[in-house]
Structure 1
Amino acid sequence: MSPHPSTSFAALHRADGAPLLLPNAWDHASATALAAQGFAAVGTTSLGVAAAAGLPDGHAATRNASLTLARLLGGGPFLLSVDAENGFSDDPEEVAEAARELAAAGAAGINLEDGRPDGTLAPAELHAAKITAVKEAVPDLFVNARTDTHWLRDGEGDGNGDGGGDGGGRARETIRRLDAYRQAGADGVFVPGLSDPPCITALLKTLDVPLNILYTLAGPTVPALADLGVSRISLGSLLYRRALGAALETAALIRAGEPVEGATPTYDDVQALR
């Protein structure tokens, strides 16, 4: 009997001592092309999915678009993790239902974030309740619990002053939240915006589940993050934004009468992405 997809997905974290490098796609073609490059697992980017559909990211507007994409990609030759924003609801049972539908579509994992569109954090207890509801509804689904403590605009934690704008307060709030999410059943934790190697090392000492770090062009390299002991490295919306940037640059070069360089898939190459 083949292992459950989420079991295989969990095993990819630090497989052979290396972190899972997870590229994030926004449609069928991008996901299939990435899988063809040898990536055993592909995630989705909520920004890319939202922008491609003309929707705002992080406002629980991409539930249907994310489910539709999961149905296109689930059960394919790669494992799929879906960026489910905040679960598309503040009702834990509604979040659990969305998770059921994504798992039924073939998703092996999901991301659940505690950040809100206004730059504050949802109460840790609420986010933990969502995680518990999802794990009770779909025990085999890999839940990557994300905290946006390092992405806050106001530096004030959940709005009650317990996050703190100082580095120590932010670190304590991150640990507090991740511990609550782990106890609620999270299989892994994600801290986008955390890139300082000593801070990553200190956080790893407090964890007994895989740590996911968001790769940034200005941050540590993949080998450096691997040496620190990070279990998963996500590319987030980077590939989508780079693709959009390349499209704009190409159009501008053509308009200016300049040569266009770089790899360009042929029409037949794209037709073959099925």
Structure 2
Amino acid sequence: MTGFAALHRRGAPLVLPNAWDVASARTLVTAGFSAIGTTSLGVAAAAGLPDGLGATEAGTLRLARSLAALPVLLSVDLEGGSVGAAAAVAEAGAVGVNLEDAMGPVADHAALIRSVKREVPHLFVNARTDTFWQRPGDLAETLRRVRRYADSGADGVFVPGLTEPADIAAVVAAVDVPVNVLFLPGRHTVTALADLGVRRISTGSLIFRAALAASAQTAVAVRDGLAVRSDLPSYAAVNAGPAAG
């Protein structure tokens, strides 16, 4: 975990793109990223499954094992997760996990964090709280939860949906561990988040959703006689073995 933890720096945050399969992960490694995460929405949607309901644990573990050959540090999104799932992805080669509370009882999530750290102490546990995710934000509850999770052994805390600088600064000030923010186009810049003390910036499902939009855009361009971008990866590059960087 030490090398991965060291990437969470004040003033130079870790920008962590999120992959959903081997091809997307390889593309990100080729683009120069030394660490990547997985996106639970991407893994779920690609398999025709719902996100957030724990339906992709087996698929996520298979993906973690498939990515083990890549020269990259891997953090795995386990949704709510379990001790067994965290241990399994660590055995597969992951250096970190993302565990979300889904606004369940604080005590339950804190207990899970303690159990994972006891079972797999070298694994970087990023404890997510959904106090701002697809709901009106609650800063007081956010601070209560991130403090509890940090006190329970979390190596970092993650609050997706944070947008206001004052709220972000308050979360950063509340804990000694790195704060992770979900990048929202038009609302964030890496520079501004770094200035606020954020030490990790995730793309979440953004790249997956952008890929879906690009797929439809390309198909429409072919159908309608419009220009198709010319800087696409070649067939040979995509067809290379999984360990190709």
- In the superposition, the TM-score normalised over structure 1's length comes to 0.85
1:196-207 paired onto structure 2 within 5 Å: 196-207=164-175
Q: Please report how far the alpha carbon of residue 219 of structure 1 lies from its aligned counterpart in structure 2 after TM superposition.
A: 1.2
Q: Distance in 2 between matches of 1:114 and 1:56?
A: 17
1:8 is matched with which residue? Answer: 3
2:107 is matched with which residue? Answer: 125
Q: Distance in 2 between matches of 1:200 and 1:262?
A: 39
Q: Distance in 2 between matches of 1:224 and 1:262?
A: 33
1:234-273 paired onto structure 2 within 5 Å: 234-261=202-229, 263-272=231-240
- In the superposition, the TM-score normalised over structure 2's length comes to 0.95
2:92 is matched with which residue? Answer: 105
Tell me if the contact between 1:49 and 1:65 (Cα under 8 Å) persists in the aligned partners. Answer: yes
Q: 1:64 aligns with which of 55, 58, 66?
A: 58
Q: Distance in 1 between matches of 2:231 and 2:20?
A: 20
> 2:68 aligned with 1:80, yes or no?
no
Q: Distance in 2 between matches of 1:147 and 1:262?
A: 41
Q: Distance in 1 between matches of 2:241 and 2:69?
A: 15
Q: Distance in 1 between matches of 2:225 and 2:95?
A: 46
Structure 1 outlier segments of 4+, above 6 Å: none
1:118 is matched with which residue? Answer: none
Q: CA RMSD in A?
A: 1.3
Query: What does the per-residue CA deviation read over 1:223-274, in whole Å, with 9 as the maximum and x for residues that have no partner?
Result: 1111111100000000000001000111112111222125211101111252
The higher relative CO (CA closer than 8 Å, separation ≥ 6) is in 2
Gaps of at least 5 residues in structure 2 are none
What percent identity do the matched residue pairs reach?
57
> 2:41 aligned with 1:47, yes or no?
yes
Gaps of at least 5 residues in structure 1 are 1-5, 88-94, 116-120, 156-166
Tell me if the contact between 1:201 and 1:228 (Cα under 8 Å) persists in the aligned partners. Answer: yes
Query: What does the per-residue CA deviation read over 1:143-202, in whole Å, with 9 as the maximum and x for residues that have no partner?
Result: 00000000144x5xxxxxxxxxxx6xx111000001111111100000000011121112
Secondary structure of the 1:250 match is: helix
Q: 1:20 aligns with which of 11, 14, 17?
A: 14
Q: Give the total of aligned pairs.
A: 242
